[in-house]
Structure 1
Amino acid sequence: MEQIKGVAASKGISIGSVLLYQTGDPKVSKKQTNDVLGEIARFEAAVQTAVATLGELHERALQTVGEKEAAVFEIHQMMLEDLDFLEGVKDCITSESCNAEYAVQQAGGQLAEMFAGMDDEYMRERASDVRDVSARVVRVLCGCDGNPLEGVKGQVIVAAEDLMPSETIQMDTSKVLAFVTRLGSKISHSAILARTMGIPAVVGLREGFDTLKAGQEIIVDGFNGDVYLGPDEKTLAHFKNERDLYLEKKRVLRSLIGKRAVSLDGKEIEINANIGHPADIALCEENDAGGIGLFRSEFLYMESQDFPSEDFQFESYRDILQKMAGKRVIVRTLDLGADKHAPYFKLPHEDNPAMGYRAIRICLRQPDIFITQLRALHRASVFGKLAIMFPMITSLKEVLEIKKVVALVKCQLDEEHIPYSKEIEYGIMIETPAAVMATDLLAREVDFFSIGTNDLTQYTLACDRMNASLSELYDPRNLSVLRMIALTVRNAHKAGIWAGICGESAGDLELTGLYLKLGVDELSVSPASVLEVRNKVLHTDSREVDDSMLNLYTV
C-alpha cells in the first residue's frame, strides 16, 4: 500500500478504481494558410458555437448545482466576447498567416499566463477559466467537443491533470465516486463544483499523481487530502467505517434544520453565513443560516471590468435582501487591497500590502467610490433588514469620518426624495490590535462589532497568513488572540451593543464552547458549516469550559 498527499478540496471518502482522464487543450500544430479571412471566419463560427454550448451548460448547472456555481458558465461566455481575446486571436491569424486552432492556443495561453502571474490567489485561479474557454473553442474547431465520460461503465474515481469547470459539470455524476488531480487548489471552480455536488476530491497531488494507474483500487480521503493506493484489508475496513459514520453524521445534521442554537446551559447564539456572491444565498437557505453575517461586497468589484455603478450595486444588494426575506444581512463595505485586487483601481505596488492601502483607507481617501456604494446600500435597505459593516478600522477618528460620510449620503437621498430604512445597523470589524484596544471608545459610536479573526490573528502575531512557511505560527487559538476577543466582547456588552465573529475561527468547533462562555452573540461561518456549529452548540455546556487562562491578567 502507498499513501500520497494532496490538498483536501471536497469532504467525503470514496473507494474505487481509477479512470485516467485526459484533459487540457487538444494537441494542435501550427499550419500556414493562404486564406486568412477564411480562418478568421472559422474562428468566429467556433466562438458562436462555444457560446451556445456554454448557454446549455449554464442551464444544466442551474438544475444540478444551483445559481452560484452555474454563474461560471456565464463568465465563460463573457470571456468569449472579450475584445482583447478576440482581437488577439485575429491578430495572430493575420500576422502569422496561421490556422485558427493554433492562434486560439497562443492568444489563450498568453492571457492565462497573465492571470497566473498575479499575486491574488483568486485571480490566479482565473487562469484555468481562460484555458477552459480556449480549449473549448479549439475542440469545436477540431470537431471533438464531446461528453467527458461517454462510454464509461460503472462508477470510477476520475484522475486528471486538472479539471475544467465545463468538464466537471458535463460528467455523469452517477458514474463519479471522486476526483483526484495533479494540479488545482481549494478555490478552483472545479473544487467548488465538487463540494457543491457532494463529490469527494483531493487536488494538488503534484508528482504523487504519477504513481496512479488505470484500474487501480484507491481510497480518496477528502477530509485530510490523502490518497491510498492498493489499500490492504485493514485500511479498507477503517475507511469504509469512516465513510459510513460521515454519511450518518450528514443525516443527523440535516435533522437540525429549524432548531435554535441553544447550549445545554441555556445560552443562545446566532449562527449566520459568510458569502461572497448573491448566488450563495441558495446555500444559506439549504443550510438554514439565521442570516448573512458577512457579505463580501468586494467581489462585485473584482468581477467587474470597471467601477460598478450605483444602480448595478443597488440591484445586487436588493436581490440579497429580498431573498433573505427579513433575515439580517450584514454587508461589508469595499475591502480591496492586500490579497484582493481589481485592475482598474490601479492600486500602487506595495512591499507589504497586508498593512498598506486597503479597505476603509481606500474608501476614505477616494470618497466618490465610497459614496456610490453607500448610496446603493441605503437605497436597497427598504427591501429587507440591512446592516452595514466597515472593515480595517484602527482608530476612533476613522469611525467619526465614516459617520460624516453616511450622514452626507442620507442628506443626499433625502433631498432627492429617495427612501431608505431608518433601522439600518452600522458596525465595524475588529481585526486590528489598535481597534481592540480602543473598543471601549468605539463601542459608543456603533451598533455592533464583528471580529475578523483572520486579520486579527495575523496582526496580533506579526505573522503573514498568506505565507505558507509561517503556517505553524499562524494560530487563531493563540492566547493573545483569544484575550483580544474576550476584551472586545466585554467592552461591547458594557456599551450595550452586540459582538460577533466572522473570521474562520468562528467555525472552529474546538472554540465554540469558549465563545459561548465569553458571551459572543453571533458566529458567521461558511454556509456548509452552519449546521455543524449548531450541532456543537446544542451539545455544549459552557459552564464546563475552562477560560481561566484568559483572566490571568486584567484586560
Structure 2
Amino acid sequence: PTNHPLHPLPNPLPHPLPTLSGIPTSPGIAIGPATLYQPKLPELPEPLLDDPKRSWQELQTAIKTAQNQIQTLHQKVATSEEAAIFDAHLLILQDPTLLEATHQQIFEHSLCAAAAWHTVIEQTVNTYKKLDDPYLKARAVDVSDVGQRVLRLLTGIVAVLPDMQEPGILIATDLTPSSTVELDPNKVLGICTVAGSAMSHAAILARSLGIPAVMGVGNELLHVENGTLLALDGETGNVWIEPDEAHLKELQIKRDSKLNTIQASRPNAHESAKTKDGHSVKIMANIGGLSDVEIALKNGAEGVGLLRSEFIYLQRTSLPTEDELLEVYQAIAQSLSPHPLIIRILDIGGDKPLPYLNLEPETNPFLGWRGIRLLLDYPELLKTQLRAILRASYGYSIKIMFPMIASVREIRAAKVVLSTVQTELRQAGIPFNGTMEVGIMIEVPSSVTIADQLATEVDFFSIGTNDLSQYSMAADRTNPKVASLADALEPAILRMIQQTIIAAHNVGIWVSVCGELASSSVATPILIGLGVDELSMNPLAIPGVKATISQFSMNEAEAIAHHVLQLDSAQSVREYVATKFS
C-alpha cells in the first residue's frame, strides 16, 4: 500500500474532508482494502477468413450460448427493474441492424466472425456515445457488455470476475451489468467507479445486492494502489483514502449501527410503521410487475404505491392489448389483495422510449414529448390502458395516477378521457369501481407552484423526487458530470416538498413520496416531519425504513424538518441529520 504522510490541519475538522467525492448510488458504509478491477478484452484472431458460411454459423452458435447465459442472469435478479436490464440485453442479441451489419462484414468484407462482430459492436457503441439522448447514450454500456460476451465466446476467453483475496472495496473504471450481478456481497464490501451514475444499470444492481457504492468519482481513483485502505459512504458520495484512526473508528461505528438496525428490523418488518409517539406512516412498495409482489409483501409492504406500467410495455415488441393489460393488472391486484395498488399510467419518452412506437428522436427528450403529453396525443393508447385499469378495479383497491402533469389543463384533459372511458364501460354493462381514486405525480417545478390548484382536481399527490430534483436543479441525473447536483436533499427540493404537502393538506388530500428519497434513512425523519402520509420505495428498503421511523418521535421529526429547510446544501442536511442519530 502507498504511504502518504498525514499532516494535521491547524484547526482539525470534526469530520475530515473526503479525499474524493462522487455520486452516491447505493447506501451504506464500506471499509476495506482496495482491489482494482481492469478486465482484459479478448484478443482478436487473424481477421480474414476462407469460409464465410462457417464463420456465420460460429456467430449464430455464440449468440445462442450468450442468450442462455443472459437468461441465467435474468433468473438471478429479484425485481422487474433488474430483470428489464437483461431483457434489454436479449433484445440487443436479436437486433436485426447488428446482425445484418455483421453478416455484411463476413460475406462482403471476408472478416472472421470475431473481427466482424467486434467491428459492428465498436461502431454501434461509438454511435450511441455521440448521441445527445441520455437514454441512448447510456445504452452504449449495454451494447458493449453484450458485445464482449459474444466476443469472448467466439475467441474462447473466459470472463474473469474480480479476484478478491479478502473482503474489500472494488474499484474500476466502470462496471457492466453482467459483472455487477455476479459480485459476491460477502467479498465485495463496496464499489467505487470512475464512471457511472445513480440511474446506471450497475447502480440499480448494486442497490439490489445491498453493496454500498459511489460512482462518477473521476480518474484520480485509478491512482489508488491495490491494498490501500479505503472507506466510502454510499449515501453522501464521499470516499476516504487511508482515513486516520479517529475517523475510521467513527465510520466503523456508523456502519455497524446501520447494519445492526437493518438486521434488527427484519423480524418486525410486517408491523406498521410508527414513530416513538405512535404516529403512523404507510409504507408501500414500488414495483414493475407481478414477480415483485411477493418480494414486496415479504418485506412488509402495506400495498403498492407505484406500479410502473412501462415495464409491461418495454418487455414486448408490440403494444399490449386491453385484455393483456387487464390480465396483468388483475393478477397483481389479486396477489396484493386486500392491500391497495396504485397504477401509474404509462410514462414513456425521455429515458424510456418504446422502440415499436417509432417516435422521432428529440434534441432534449427529458424536456420533450413524454408522459401525459405523449398520451394525450395518442388517445387510443391512453384509453386502452384506462379501460384495462377500470375493469381490473372491480372488486379490488386500485387507484390510478397520471405522470408528468405540468398544468391544470393537462389533468383536466386526462380526466375527460377517463370520464369518456367510464361512460363507455357503463353503457356496455362492464363493471368497474366508480369511486376509484385519481392522483398525479408531482415531478416538475410548475406542478409545485400550482399545487393548490391541482389539489382541487385529484384525490392524492405522489411526489417523484428523482425527476423533481433533476428538473428543479437543471441537472441530468444520467450525466455523471452534473448528476450530483440533482440531489433531492437540497433544501430547495425539500422546500418544494413542503409546499406541495401544505397545498394538499389544505384541501384534505393525502401525499406520498415515491422517488429514491423515500428509501433514504437520512430523508425519513425529514419527510415525516414535513407531513408526508405515505412513503413508497424499493421493497428491499422497507424493513430498514420502518426501523428508522421507530427511532424518533413526531416532535423530533418536525424539529429536524424545520431546521434542515434553513440549511444551505444537501451536504449540510446530511451532516445535521447524522448528528441527530449518531
TM-score (norm 2): 0.80
Question: 8 Å contact 2:390–2:433 — kept in the other structure?
Answer: yes
Confirm whether residue 471 of structure 1 aligns to residue 492 of structure 2.
no
Distance of 1:439 and 1:219 partners within structure 2: 42
Picking from 137, 140, 153, the partner of 1:124 is 137
Once the two structures are TM-superposed, the CA of residue 279 in structure 1 deviates from its matched residue by: 4.4
Matches within 5 A, 1:153-164: 153-164=165-176
Distance 1:549 1:7, change over 3 A: closer
Distance of 2:330 and 2:109 partners within structure 1: 50
Distance of 1:154 and 1:246 partners within structure 2: 22
Confirm whether residue 331 of structure 1 aligns to residue 343 of structure 2.
yes
Distance of 2:84 and 2:367 partners within structure 1: 33
Once the two structures are TM-superposed, the CA of residue 322 in structure 1 deviates from its matched residue by: 3.2
| SS of 2:512 mapped into structure 1 | strand
AA partner of residue 270 (structure 1): K
In structure 2, the partner of 1:553 is none
Once the two structures are TM-superposed, the CA of residue 70 in structure 1 deviates from its matched residue by: 4.5
| SS of 2:108 mapped into structure 1 | helix
Once the two structures are TM-superposed, the CA of residue 86 in structure 1 deviates from its matched residue by: 1.8
In structure 1, the partner of 2:154 is 141
Question: 8 Å contact 1:162–1:183 — kept in the other structure?
Answer: yes
Gaps of 5+ in 2: 5-18, 565-582
Confirm whether residue 36 of structure 1 aligns to residue 48 of structure 2.
no
Distance of 1:228 and 1:257 partners within structure 2: 33
Confirm whether residue 5 of structure 1 aligns to residue 41 of structure 2.
no
Picking from 188, 191, 201, the partner of 1:179 is 191
Matches within 5 A, 1:212-227: 212-227=224-239
Picking from 43, 63, 84, the partner of 2:97 is 84
| SS of 2:302 mapped into structure 1 | coil
Picking from 208, 212, 229, the partner of 1:200 is 212
Gaps of 5+ in 1: 551-555
Once the two structures are TM-superposed, the CA of residue 117 in structure 1 deviates from its matched residue by: 4.0
Picking from 462, 466, 480, the partner of 1:450 is 462
| SS of 1:133 mapped into structure 2 | helix
Once the two structures are TM-superposed, the CA of residue 372 in structure 1 deviates from its matched residue by: 1.7
Matches within 5 A, 1:94-493: 94-146=107-159, 148=161, 153-276=165-288, 278-347=290-359, 356-382=368-394, 384-414=396-426, 418-431=430-443, 435=447, 442-453=454-465, 463=474, 466=477, 468=482, 471=485, 477-478=491-492, 481-482=496-497, 484-493=499-508
Question: 8 Å contact 1:318–1:383 — kept in the other structure?
Answer: no
Question: 8 Å contact 2:344–2:400 — kept in the other structure?
Answer: yes
AA partner of residue 37 (structure 1): K
| SS of 2:274 mapped into structure 1 | coil
Distance of 1:32 and 1:55 partners within structure 2: 32
Question: 8 Å contact 1:58–1:74 — kept in the other structure?
Answer: yes
Bigger mean CA offset, 448-457 vs 236-245: 448-457
State the Cα deviation string for residues 394-429 of structure 1 (Å, max 9, x = none). 554444433332233234445555543445322223
Distance of 1:205 and 1:431 partners within structure 2: 27
State the Cα deviation string for residues 98-136 of structure 1 (Å, max 9, x = none). 111111112222333344344454443332221111111
Distance of 1:339 and 1:365 partners within structure 2: 19
Distance 1:25 1:510, change over 3 A: closer
Distance of 1:66 and 1:428 partners within structure 2: 24
Distance of 1:165 and 1:265 partners within structure 2: 43
Distance of 2:289 and 2:136 partners within structure 1: 16
Once the two structures are TM-superposed, the CA of residue 503 in structure 1 deviates from its matched residue by: 4.5
AA partner of residue 182 (structure 1): V
Confirm whether residue 521 of structure 1 aligns to residue 533 of structure 2.
yes
Distance of 2:411 and 2:21 partners within structure 1: 47
AA partner of residue 145 (structure 2): D
Once the two structures are TM-superposed, the CA of residue 458 in structure 1 deviates from its matched residue by: 6.7
| SS of 1:274 mapped into structure 2 | strand
State the Cα deviation string for residues 448-472 of structure 1 (Å, max 9, x = none). 233445555677x685565839938
Distance of 2:227 and 2:523 partners within structure 1: 43
| SS of 2:388 mapped into structure 1 | helix
Distance of 1:528 and 1:240 partners within structure 2: 23
Question: 8 Å contact 1:147–1:171 — kept in the other structure?
Answer: no
Distance 1:503 1:200, change over 3 A: closer
Once the two structures are TM-superposed, the CA of residue 340 in structure 1 deviates from its matched residue by: 4.2
In structure 1, the partner of 2:573 is none
State the Cα deviation string for residues 327-352 of structure 1 (Å, max 9, x = none). 21111212334554335545566666
AA partner of residue 335 (structure 2): K
AA partner of residue 28 (structure 1): L
Distance 1:195 1:34, change over 3 A: same
TM-score (norm 1): 0.83
State the Cα deviation string for residues 201-240 of structure 1 (Å, max 9, x = none). 3333331232133344444443443444445544544443
Bigger mean CA offset, 342-351 vs 134-143: 342-351
State the Cα deviation string for residues 358-384 of structure 1 (Å, max 9, x = none). 322222222011112212222333474
- Size of the aligned set, in residue pairs, is 543
AA partner of residue 53 (structure 1): Q
In structure 2, the partner of 1:46 is 62
Between the two proteins, what is the percent identity of the paired residues?
A: 36
